[in-house]
Amino acid sequence: MFWEQLLNGLTLGSSYALIALGYTMVYGIIQLINFAHGEVYMFGAFVGLFLVTAGANIFVALLGAMAFCMLLGMLIERVAYRPLRGKSTRLSALISAIGVSIFLSTLMVLYRGPNTTRYPAVLGDSTFQLGSLQVSTLQIIILVIAALLMVVLELAIKKTRVGKAMRACSQDLEASKLMGVNVNRIISLTFATGSALAAAGGVMVGIYYNAVWPYMGTMAGLKAFAAAVLGGIGSVPGAMIGGLSLGVLEIMGIAYLSSSYKDAIAFAILILVLIIRPQGLLGQKLSKKV
């Protein structure tokens, strides 16, 4: 029982982690909570659905959704945030983000209606016994894909020229410019990367829970945000750990307490973290720049 719940928790948590990465990367670089990020995830789920319905293989659908959301993320940054950058307060950008979030979910309602759509059964889910453990192949696939994406992300940030520039920008935007780094381009690529990961999360959650709806991004986005804060906002490994922990805690809460507390758990954790350790598990203590 416990081990099965743990596996369920990790599966859910890996989707939180994929979304949380986008929050944390964007925050790390421009100190903006991109509240439209949950809607990017929702769009990812729908694009995946569209492609699967059109007969695409699940991996093609996954890549297609990621590519689409990369462009969507870059577009959002270009239209809703860049014009405000350097010219107005961080609060304006935050309000702009909330505006984009409402716009995107409403757009999807206009297009699809507000109801839930079921995902066609693309991956015949089967279960197998692993010792006393009942494991679903779908869970394994989701966990493997999520792990793979996170490894690629980690390598990209640590090893590539652009990834290093991303880390430099998150530490000192102005100094980075003077190294010849086109900061606008790096910010754009950060949105693209985070959005692609969220899209992957959207497609996998859509398949796993067999349901997508236009407002699915709201709650998932908020919880992933809580996960990013738990891990330490701005920290990439923090988002991974925060996402996984939140998923596990939520599932354990459902299993051992009551399913009615499902959504309360994430936010209770968010509040506790903010009180006890505001910088999160792996975050740095905030010190004002002089």
Measuring CA to CA, which residue among 236, 229, 46, 210 is closest to residue 142? Answer: 210
Is residue 195 a contact partner of residue 16, using CB atoms and an 8 Å limit? no
- Interface map 185-224 toward another protein (x if CB under 8 A): ----x-----------------------------------
Concatenate the DSSP letters of all residues of 140-171 into one string.
HHHHHHHHHHHHHHHHHHHHSHHHHHHHHHHH
Q: How far apart are CA 264 and CA 257, in angstroms?
A: 12
Minimum distance, C-beta of residue 193 to another protein, in the bound complex (Å): 9
271 part of the interface to another protein, by CB under 8 A: no
Kindly indicate which of the ranges 15-23, 49-57, 135-143, 182-190 contains the residues binding another protein, using the contact rule CB under 8 A: 182-190
14 part of the interface to another protein, by CB under 8 A: no
Is residue 231 a contact partner of residue 60, using CB atoms and an 8 Å limit? no
Q: How large is the angle between the packed helices 2-30 and 137-159, nearest 10 degrees? A: 30
Measuring CA to CA, which residue among 84, 46, 86, 82 is closest to residue 65? Answer: 46
Minimum distance, C-beta of residue 284 to another protein, in the bound complex (Å): 8
Kindly indicate which of the ranges 79-87, 104-112, 177-185, 273-281 contains the residues binding another protein, using the contact rule CB under 8 A: 177-185
Kindly indicate which of the ranges 103-111, 166-174, 218-226, 274-282 contains the residues binding another protein, using the contact rule CB under 8 A: 166-174
Minimum distance, C-beta of residue 178 to another protein, in the bound complex (Å): 5
Q: How far apart are CA 54 and CA 149, in angstroms?
A: 25
CA dihedral 80, 81, 84, 88 (to 10 degrees): 120
177 part of the interface to another protein, by CB under 8 A: yes
Kindly indicate which of the ranges 58-66, 133-141, 157-165, 256-264 contains the residues binding another protein, using the contact rule CB under 8 A: 157-165
164 part of the interface to another protein, by CB under 8 A: yes
171 part of the interface to another protein, by CB under 8 A: yes
C-alpha R_g of the chain = 19
Name which position in 143, 168, 211, 281 contacts another protein (CB under 8 A).
Answer: 168
163 part of the interface to another protein, by CB under 8 A: yes
Q: Which is nearer to another protein, 175 or 286 (CB)?
A: 175
290 part of the interface to another protein, by CB under 8 A: yes
Question: In what helix (H) or strand (E) does residue 72 lie, and over which residues does it extend?
Answer: helix 58-76
78 part of the interface to another protein, by CB under 8 A: no
86 part of the interface to another protein, by CB under 8 A: no
Q: How far apart are CA 45 and CA 102, in angstroms?
A: 17
Q: Which is nearer to another protein, 89 or 260 (CB)?
A: 89
Q: How far apart are CA 146 and CA 95, in angstroms?
A: 31
Q: For residues 222-261, which are near another protein according to CB under 8 A? A: none
Q: How many residues bind another protein (CB under 8 A)?
A: 25
Minimum distance, C-beta of residue 258 to another protein, in the bound complex (Å): 42
Convert 112-135 to b/e letters by CB count within 10 Å (16 or more is b).
beeeebebeebeeeeeeeeeeeeb
* Chain residues that interact with another protein, rule: CB under 8 A: 152, 156, 159-165, 167-168, 171-172, 174-183, 189, 290
